[in-house]
Structure 1
């Protein structure tokens, strides 16, 4: 149910109204989850389970909002960030989100993580007309304002990313024979569909596709199957745990294909180091955020500001974990979106403001990448740059690309 509040603001304006003046009356419009003092924002994240390395994102967001609150809040209101552990389990996500919406009375759901988890609540959030904003998944389905006007993504979509990998390998690998490993859910299938689209008439270059469940203890048997297929290209569509296992097992087998790794597992601290730096050399992925391990950014003002923020607010955190940069960037965007709502903190206005960015600079995005949205475009970020792992860090190469520019 929507509530609307109208009240006088103090001082001369209130006196003018009482004295019969025609001066405009300041008006505040609130939906559920907002008061003069507070904005309640909900979130689900896998603090436990197979995707628990992503908990760094929610912890960074929580810390970011606390730092915003310490600085006075958003237009004078403090953010109450309620983040619950769903263990990367869709049924648990449904339970947690119903609690957030119906009991905790949140204003909006922000950055809930995982394609299968967000899929499980997609229709519910839109039926309830509660924003499901800047979700932590790049599935292409989050950019469908016609059918799901209360849901918006954040990161470049998986299909675009996969198309770019396909185009690159076809241009750079001689006689490619492609093996694909993907998680057996909507997240994995979205990447696979985009990859096939990118290959076009060369889709028969895929010689083997194997899948795994998010809860599987290892992907060792799948890597053995891919090696035995004769593949000389490995498209690795895995979360951090499985991605690190796959990199390490390929090295153990002496399999050295051209290796393309999905961006969601590009963290040096969470993936490349556990896999073994020596095993990760030459892996290619897409990037849209700066990486703290890449020394070319050491003198960058945004990187220096982020490091200082981390030193002050999260001194024990590992700066090599790219999830901290991701969380910082998306929390900045959410804060800006809420600021733009002013005193009209309705759910409809929140979505309107989220759909009104034009080439907006979010700190820590790669130079040349900005946020643009509209009432018909719910894809805030649509460009990436390829990077290759070298030594103990990523090395960017080539130009900023979108699916269209390939």
Structure 2
């Protein structure tokens, strides 16, 4: 066995993991279907392969005689990661467990099995099934492709006519041809990050989620840690998250759970068997707890870490803030360098924003731009957020003329 670690995914969100592996002396085999993603440029070895192609990735793992396989901040490779680890006898989660963490229907079913309250739901493969469930429920529903990510194909539905239109759109985003139809509830939302080693599990941090006011774009404008909710509610969320992670059989790595408060009940929206995207895993966990996330992930993937590492609260506030752009052509960008150079900003994806770029309809969270910020407390964090909003300007040219292009809320 060589000192080569296989990393699934090569976009900007996987760069911290690839960079840390290089720094620690591993040879890095980076695999993704898009060869111009930046992770390929800094890898020891680069291979083009779909990250959901389990047999294709297994073939590459054998070719390079890897010592571990890992991904972060993306759902798509989670099953492949478990499959390859299981086939080669490497550290990893069980494949059946990985299926639960990447299938919204299986999450709901497992919640019922372990005694965690959930919403009314039905997995539907046909419009007729969806109509029957909707008629019986007699309230608004939300449609979710069971096995997709990035909020693609997710729609809120308030009428039969709307259901018939949106169901056919949602099912296109499901690789298995299934859509989860469930009751739509409104309430305060939370996000929880946690870690596991050899089935021992610890919560790391709980945060608050604020959403854009854009129809059918279920995307956060801000995720802030720590939560500023009542401590009793936070503890309830943390207890449910730990029960779910352990009840689902999560063996190792990081989880990213999203929850909603429905009256007095904490309801799971979804939980992922990887760290939170938008640099939650690489930046916000570290800012909150001091944990070196990438080093931890590499350690459990290669069998070098066999117990929960020490971490401690850092007594500060941090968040990501994000924005969309209006449709049209980007004709001017001001303040980007100033924002990047601020002493309290960290990772961002501003490298994807360029003059001359054409901005299309914002249909899901993948078209956001974002940056990580930190402060000593919540109030100071909000001041810094407003300062960034004042600094950054993007002008868009469309049929109306040249307009302010940024959508912050």
Give the TM-score, by structure 1 length: 0.37
Q: Who wins on radius of gyration, i.e. which is larger?
A: 1
Greater share of strand:
2
Give the TM-score, by structure 2 length: 0.37
Greater share of helix:
1
